[in-house]
Amino acid sequence: MIMETQILEIDERSLALSKKIILSGGAVAFPTETVYGLGANAFDDNAVKNIFAIKGRPSDNPLIVHVHSGYNLSSLVSYIPEYTKLLSKAFLPGPLTMVYRSCNKVSPAVSCGLDTLAVRIPSHKGAQQFLKYLDLPIAAPSANISKHVSPVTARHVYDDLKGRIEVILDGGKCEGGIESTVLDCTGDIPCVLRSGLVTADMIAQVVGECHEYVMKDGEKVRSPGMKYKHYSPNCQTILFEYSDRAKAFAEYKELKSQGKRAVIMCDNSVYEELKPQDVLNLGKDEREMAANLYDKLREGERIADIIVAVAPLKQDGVMVGVMNRMRKAFG
Ligand code: TXA
Ligand code: MG
């Protein structure tokens, strides 16, 4: 079904329209502090299934449920470990998603049949307005076509989903830039399934210990999203390690001499060192790099045939999450 897609400021009118759409089983795109989400009523089976169809998302990759900060969590999950209360106090609302034992109140399509439920309370003002206005758990993946780069502006959402949804609520550019940290809280010690702005170290500082999940060969994936190619721009890509930056520069020049539209993606220090003419500069520090990554990947696919990326020197802290996305984007 092709429909007209509108980008709307968040106000009483657009919220009322969004509510009408959500209550009739539709999906609305909304901003969060990480990336834009594509939301539907988590209680509504067909609405949740529709989200997978709109995105072309594999049917075994579960969704995060979003709620406002006053929502009663215990109505959605069966057990709330003590340490998650400490984490909520330290980091919520904010870019931390916690996975709990589900009490099966939302549609089974949300968690794709798993007995757990991922819950997130975003801090973005527009997200909170939207979620409070609805007062429902909203199942929402990132608002991009599956496997493409996640959207950090309303325009990015439009570019991917125009004709497929009616409303995109515009809350400006997302400040965080990479998706929330996904933390498995079903065990005695929390375990990071997807890295993000709330790092394993930050979590360990609050609760004493935090594991980081590494997939072993043959093991059943705990966070199904991790097995898919992701975040990929629609152009050729190649990634060099930081120590190979001179090789990257030579490759870029070679491609240019062949008449290809090549561009270097790197952090500011590598930019200062190599001074390439065509650059997607990720910035100076980890926060800047996280905030710029998806915007620059989308700019790259627009202006270049090939992105030649150099891995930043810094790879700890928030950069764990940034590097994880870079490696997936660059295959
Ligand atoms: O920042 C974000 O988290 C954004 C915004 C919109 O909130 N959302 C987002 O959703 O990134 P999505 O669908 O693109 O990624 C959800 C991730 C996937 O890796 C999925 O496998 C994992 O969360 N996930 C969801 N439910 C889970 C569960 N019950 N157990 C383990 N992992 C789960
Ligand atoms: Mg996604």
- pLDDT tens, position by position, 270-283: 999 999 999 999 99
Across residues 288-293, what is the average pLDDT?
98
Strand, helix or coil at 327? helix
List the domain boundaries for the chain.
6-212, 236-329
Residue 282 φ then ψ, to 5°: -75, -20
Same fold, 6-212 and 236-329: no
As a whole number of angstroms, the distance between CA 301 and CA 144 comes to: 15
pLDDT at 316 (0 to 100): 95
Mean pLDDT check: name the lowest of 21-35, 155-169, 228-242, 313-327.
228-242
Q: What is the pLDDT of residues 170-199, one digit of tens each?
A: 999 999 999 999 999 999 999 999 999 999
pLDDT at 54 (0 to 100): 98
What is the Å distance from ligand 2's center to 273 Cα?
A: 33
List of residues 6+ apart from 184 with CB closer than 8 A: 99, 116, 190, 191, 192, 193, 213, 222, 223
How crowded is the C-beta side of 195, counted as CA atoms within 13 Å?
A: 22
Residue nearest to atom 13 of ligand 1 (CA): 141
- Which CATH code fits 6-212? 3.90.870.10
pTM to 2 decimal places? 0.96
Atom of ligand 1 nearest to the CA of 150: 14
Per-residue pLDDT at 215 exceeds 80 = no
pLDDT at 203 (0 to 100): 98
As a whole number of angstroms, the distance between CA 32 and CA 198 comes to: 15
Ligand positioned closest to the Cα atom of 34:
1
Binding site membership of 114 for ligand 1 (Cβ less than 6 Å): yes
Q: Which of 35, 38, 77, 97 to mutate to test the pocket of ligand 1 (most atoms within 8 A of CB)?
A: 97
Does the domain formed by 236-329 have CATH 3.40.50.11030?
yes
Average pLDDT over the chain reads 95
Across residues 303-323, what is the average pLDDT?
96
User: Which chain residues have CB less than 5 Å from ligand 2, an ion?
Assistant: 142
Binding site membership of 58 for ligand 1 (Cβ less than 6 Å): no
Question: In which band, very low, low, confident or very high, does the pLDDT at 2 lie, cut at 50, 70 and 90?
Answer: confident
Residue nearest to atom 12 of ligand 1 (CA): 141
Question: In which band, very low, low, confident or very high, does the pLDDT at 228 lie, cut at 50, 70 and 90?
Answer: low
Per-residue pLDDT at 4 exceeds 80 = yes
